[in-house]
Amino acid sequence: MRRSTTRTLISGAAVAALLLPVAATPAGARTPAGARTPAGAATPAATSRQAAGFQHPGVLVGAEQLAFVKGELDAGAEPWASAFADLRASRYASLDWQPRPRADVECGSSSHPDNGCSDERDDAMAAYAHALQWVLTKDQRYADKAIQIMDAWSGVIQEHTNSNAPLQTGWSGNNWARAAELIRYSGAGWSATSVDRFATMLRTVYVPLLTPGSPRKNGNWELIETDALMGIAVFLDDHALFDRAAELWRGRLPAYVYLSSDGQLPVPPPKAGIEGESALVTYWNGQSTFVDGLSQETCRDFGHTGWGLEAAAQAAETARLQGLDLWGEGRERLVKALEFHTAYDNGASVPDWLCDGSVSTGLGPAVQLAYNEYHLREGLPMPQTERYVAAHSPFGANYFIGWETLTHTSAP
């Protein structure tokens, strides 16, 4: 992957030109967004945002990042130019896109039946694709399309049903929150009435299924739900929901990625009732040898593992924008997990003790955020992940992941 050799200077005026200034709610003491928790240090649950005002836009991408990307695109720099071309070539980015809302989105296991599941996920991704194009080009047509998609769903959907309903709300809720946050805080012309209706949709249709988490499911479920809940909390300016998302994140990540400091056995998922060696080995898909960076879903497949790691990273990035350093709390687990898994994606031989000597590789576009945070921002060595990024970027769209080579390569 090529990177530009010069950096675009981002001034306050550039940020203001890209996104309209937004008045924050009254703020109390908060951790500076750039601050980092020392490696291995635990951040107490008290470092929440109950007294702090939310920063907008502040779901996955913020104003400074967007101004930086706009500067790189204006300069024709790589990899941003190729990544933006990849976004614009996507079917989700077409101005011909037409939303397909429905009142009851029914999603069974593996989305069977698929009664509106794919439609909802695709429309949420399309809304985010158009919101990104709008903030990076200021072409009003993209803002209007994002608004059309979001208004169509907020006027129709009433519930999610069947066994995959919580995960479906996570997949879709992630991109709804990102799109809505960008459109609302960029002068796109989204009416107050429509914003309120969309907020009501998120609060009544999504939040009730996300807030409990999914303690007994594979870990990617709860991490994806946590990610969506955190984004929705920012959009709704809801401190209690944000703190609930942080609580879920802090409970699930240690139960999803093993470190030798955890002891002989992995940390059990909170409130799941999965205790003891036999139950934990079964939950970890039959894996009984535990090493640093191993994930609860490694022996299931790398695709689901990538979703879990990426959801943890996305939530940490939103938290960073809001002054909460989850990146610091998860540093060792996430770095070791990415290095462990990308090594096998890069072709390393699989030892007999790991998943009976066979793994299903393919992390997908699930590494850019953590790679940007830990390697490009903090300077930590991540040779396997660096090799994986070089071989697979620009990263496109997948369920709740969208165009992160564009939005997060070298992002400040």
- Model confidence pLDDT, tens digit, residues 339-372: 999 999 999 999 999 999 999 999 999 999 999 9
The mean predicted confidence, pLDDT, of the chain is 90
Give per-residue pLDDT as tens, 61-113.
999 999 999 999 999 999 999 999 999 999 999 999 999 999 999 999 988 99
Residue 111, pLDDT score: 86
Neighbours of 1 (CB within 10 A): 15
Residue 300 to residue 209: CA distance in whole angstroms: 25
As beta bridge partners, residue 107 has 114
pTM of the model: 0.89
Q: Are 201 and 154 in contact (CB under 8 A)?
A: yes
Is residue 172 over pLDDT 70? yes
Which pLDDT score, from 0 to 100, does residue 276 have? 95
For 378-410, give one letter per residue: b (16+ CB within 10 A) or e: eeeebebbbebbeebbbbbbebbbbbbbbbbbb
What pLDDT, in 10s, does the model give residues 147-157? 999 999 999 99
Residue 306 tokens read as: 């990538």
pLDDT value of residue 331: 98
Provide the pLDDT for residue 51.
Answer: 54
Which strands form 159-161's sheet, in the order they lie side by side?
114-115, 104-107, 159-161
Residue 134 has pLDDT above 80, yes or no: yes
Is residue 20 pLDDT above 80, yes or no? no
**Strands 58-59 and 61-62, bridge-based pairing:** antiparallel
Statement: residue 45 has pLDDT above 60: no
Instruction: Calculate helix-pair angle for 192-201, 140-154, nearest 10 degrees.
Output: 50
> Taking the mean position of all CA atoms in its chain, how far away is CA 370?
10
Separate counts of helices (H) and strands (E) for the chain? 17, 7
